Amino acid sequence: MTVHQPIIRKAGIRDVEFGENVTVVEPVNMYECRVGSGSFIGPFVEIQKGAVIGERCRVQSHAFVCELVTVGDDCFISHGAMFINDTFSGGGPAGGRKELWRSTRLGSHVSIGTNATILPVTICDNVVIGAGAVVTKDIAEPGIYAGNPARKIKGI
């Protein structure tokens, strides 16, 4: 049996623009992104290149914030929340074809529940996304949204 050595890439914090008074609990994987003042990043979070986290936000453990995601101010992203930028529009993963990826934009005062999945959408200010919800379409009206696909269940 031939023994091969793997390619090892280390997780960590690289080339991140931090505002004032940001707290990061390691281990995390954050690179080439921006985190606004007063924000908190929990352990086991990944925030990828070009992503923007606004001011006074909380990103809880095990959340995944991919490229092309912008989060407004005063937002809460709960444990295990996932953002998606590849819609498999070509019938499968885009792979290295980033031109097929789409962006996600969260307004301010948005709360994303535990294990929610956010596809490439725009979400207005003052929205709560319930735990386990799957957001597949833009949300243009404040309120509480839940389910798969997420739908408005109550106004705020």
Q: What is the 3-state secondary structure (H, E, C) of the chain?
A: CCCCCCCCCCCCEECCEECCCCEECCCCEEECCEECCCCEECCCCEECCCCEECCCCEECCCCEECCCEEECCCCEECCCCEECCCCCCCCCCCCCCHHHCCCEEECCCEEECCCCEECCCEECCCEEECCCCEECCCECCCEEEECCCCEEEECC
What per-residue confidence (pLDDT) applies to 1? 81
CA nearest to 142, candidates 105, 107, 104: 107
What digits encode the pLDDT tens for the residues 37-48? Answer: 999 999 999 999
Residue 118 has pLDDT above 90, yes or no: yes
CA nearest to 145, candidates 133, 137, 18: 133
What per-residue confidence (pLDDT) applies to 91? 86
What digits encode the pLDDT tens for the residues 46-86? Answer: 999 999 999 999 999 999 999 999 999 999 999 999 999 99
CA nearest to 145, candidates 116, 107, 108: 116
pTM: 0.93
Higher pLDDT, 94 or 72: 72
Q: What percent of the chain has pLDDT over 90?
A: 86
Q: Where are the domains of the chain?
A: 13-87+99-154
d(CA 149, CA 137): 8
CATH class of 13-87+99-154: mainly beta
What per-residue confidence (pLDDT) applies to 89? 86
